[in-house]
Chains A and B, each alone.
Chain A
């Protein structure tokens, strides 16, 4: 009886066991923590990189940059961190997880209004967001998209800011959650990146541009973690992101070129 229990334990250990253990020796792994807004672009980048490097497997973890930064500060194992704003990259640098100066800006983005396809609150411009009875969804403080949104708001009159924030219904984890709530039609408007509105969402949401004068430029940076298990591979992935091929992929997903 006890021997069969022992056998079950061994099987369980094998099944759940460390995933480096049962991997072929020549297989290399690269764990990338990337901002939620990079989801589609980084999936495409990883696919292309893996095609060029058959011995490499890329593991992607997408979340709000602030959430990723918190995970990294708590010691989550990763090789690369791609942040949607400098602030969260700095937070990881300050915690000693990334060497100062090893970060590189690799893409830019712009903000846009997003409304459900049928636009129930008849939003036509940014100014409409402060109207009464408009239900607004933003990301929670600390998430880059929220920082950029607050930056736009800071240039507006105080009265406008008050009515704008009074319309807030919910503060989401990351920019894709904001988009999801709008796509579900649960709120009247949200603020996301232009790159977030992928062709898949055309049926659900509508984009209302924020004029360039009002808009801000979001700057994305990437850096290897100080304790990356494979610094050569980490650097190779960064070089690929910065290469013309990598930049083409980012631009095809709606990002602007590196600054």
Chain B
């Protein structure tokens, strides 16, 4: 066989393979290099480590505290909502589901503006609250509300689809055995959905932990009160680069740990060979 005959058949095939491989590699590098850059800048910073800088500690405590409350509120209010959505058909259900999901795609700074319009001193509800001497803006409560708003849809979505995937027969069987709805939910549904709920919750937590735009607009920025870790990363950039980079790395480490945990939870029952 001469070369001339092979080329037309092989070349485009090979070229496409190389091109696809090249594009894929470029994408991987693009996603990877910023991480390496972040770690490299942190390791090569001049001066002493700033780990003992009080703003890092206070923002870490604030971030952990507010996200813990957020997560608790998500479970408390989100679980019944997800269950209701999974088990009931009603008019405009699709619209309601869509509205709940909007914060996922909403630009965070717009979410902040929306929260301000609702709970700010001149806001829809905030006005009434102000008359009762209750202020939310610029408090840790505002930090929690901002996190709750942007992160709860992740959990609600995960919980709803988990509830929907459970066969109704379990509930019917439990009902036949005389269990009331609450008992059925607590002893039959919850144990079977627990892993999916936890995975959704960790995703919500990670989103809440990284919340920036809505927080800085709605809760402001004050060390020890509303300055969470992402706000410190941004704020310290012009003051102390070491604080910025160290806080950024801590934040990144926490997010990666959370992500690994959700992957592990998802992989426990359907291991796909490579884990």
Knowing A2-B19, A185-B122 are in contact, say whether A142-B239 is a contact too (CB < 8 A): yes
Binary interface encoding of chain A residues 123-150 relative to chain B, with 1 for a CB under 8 A from any of its CBs, else 0: 0000000000001010011100000000
Contacts of A140 in B (CB 8 A): 221, 235, 239
Q: A2's contact among B15, B135, B137, by CB below 8 Å, is which?
A: B15
Q: B138's contact among A1, A67, A187, by CB below 8 Å, is which?
A: A187
Asked if A141 and B239 sit within 8 Å, CB to CB, the answer is yes
Would you give the shortest CB distance from A88 to chain B, in whole angstroms? Answer: 9
Q: What residue of chain A has the Cβ atom nearest to residue B18's Cβ?
A: A2
Knowing A170-B222, A172-B221 are in contact, say whether A184-B237 is a contact too (CB < 8 A): no
Contacts of B16 in A (CB 8 A): 1-2
Query: Is residue B220 within 8 Å, beta carbon to beta carbon, of the partner chain?
Result: yes
Knowing A135-B138, A141-B239, A142-B239 are in contact, say whether A171-B221 is a contact too (CB < 8 A): yes
Interface size on A, residues (CB 8 A): 25
Query: Is residue A122 within 8 Å, beta carbon to beta carbon, of the partner chain?
Result: no
Asked if B120 and A184 sit within 8 Å, CB to CB, the answer is yes
Knowing A2-B16, A2-B19, A141-B239 are in contact, say whether A169-B222 is a contact too (CB < 8 A): yes
Bound complex: CA A4 to CA B220 (Å): 48
Query: Is residue A224 within 8 Å, beta carbon to beta carbon, of the partner chain?
Result: no
- The interface centre, meaning the residue of A6, A67, A186 with most chain B CB atoms within 10 A of its CB, is A186
Q: What residue of chain A has the Cβ atom nearest to residue B127's Cβ?
A: A185
Bound complex: CA A228 to CA B46 (Å): 27
Bound complex: CA A6 to CA B116 (Å): 46
Query: Is residue B177 within 8 Å, beta carbon to beta carbon, of the partner chain?
Result: no
Question: Could you pull out 22 A-B pairs where Cβ atoms are within 8 angstroms?
Answer: A2-B15, A2-B19, A5-B23, A6-B19, A64-B238, A66-B238, A67-B237, A69-B238, A135-B135, A135-B138, A142-B238, A169-B137, A169-B220, A169-B222, A172-B221, A185-B120, A185-B121, A186-B116, A186-B120, A186-B121, A186-B137, A187-B138
